[in-house]
Amino acid sequence: MAEIFGELLTIGLMAFALGMDAFSIGLGMGMFKLRLRQIVKIGLTVGLFHVLMPMLGMITGRFLSDKFGEIAAYIGGGLLILLGIQMVLSSFKKEENSLISPVGFGLLLFAVSVSLDSFSVGLSLGIFGAKTAVVLTMFGAATAILTWVGLFIGRKVQ
């Protein structure tokens, strides 16, 4: 039971960390005077991409794990460490400029750009054999919720 709780807590923390970039960009995007319908659409789109990208990563990770065995586990661990270092370093950046508009192709570009890091996390989790449904559900839900919160706060602060 403790093992399941530990895995859920770890995946939940990863989901929160991965959703924070969508939250921070959503703060700025919320100042565009978005309507409620647009906010819902943006959150769902970003959440969907935070399901698709780690799913592709997990499929790739499982393939690599089957082909390369134990070496793939070390590679996956190294990827997670590098991603963590990159996330910490990027949190110290001063500028957060976004010229992407939250409609049409701009929305897709926004969703892809904030979900690229979830591909590498999915790759590592696929190598380690994490439970796919749990990971994808938590990643998508956390990101959608954090995006909505960021957009609403940005809209209020505007």
Instruction: Examine the pLDDT at 127 and tell me if it is beyond 70.
Output: yes
Dihedral over alpha carbons 127, 131, 132, 136 (to 10 degrees): -110
Do residues 57 and 126 make contact, with C-beta atoms less than 8 angstroms apart?
yes
| DSSP secondary structure of 20-81 | HHHHHHHHHHGGGT--HHHHHHHHHHHHHHHHHHHHHHHHHHHHHHHHHTHHHHHHHHHHHH
pLDDT of residue 99: 47
* Residue for token pair 């609403």: 152
Do residues 46 and 100 make contact, with C-beta atoms less than 8 angstroms apart?
no
In this prediction, residues 121-150 reach a mean pLDDT of 90
Do residues 143 and 47 make contact, with C-beta atoms less than 8 angstroms apart?
yes
Better pLDDT: 49 or 7:
49
User: Of the ranges 38-47, 62-71, 91-100, 119-128, which one carries the lowest mean pLDDT score?
Assistant: 91-100
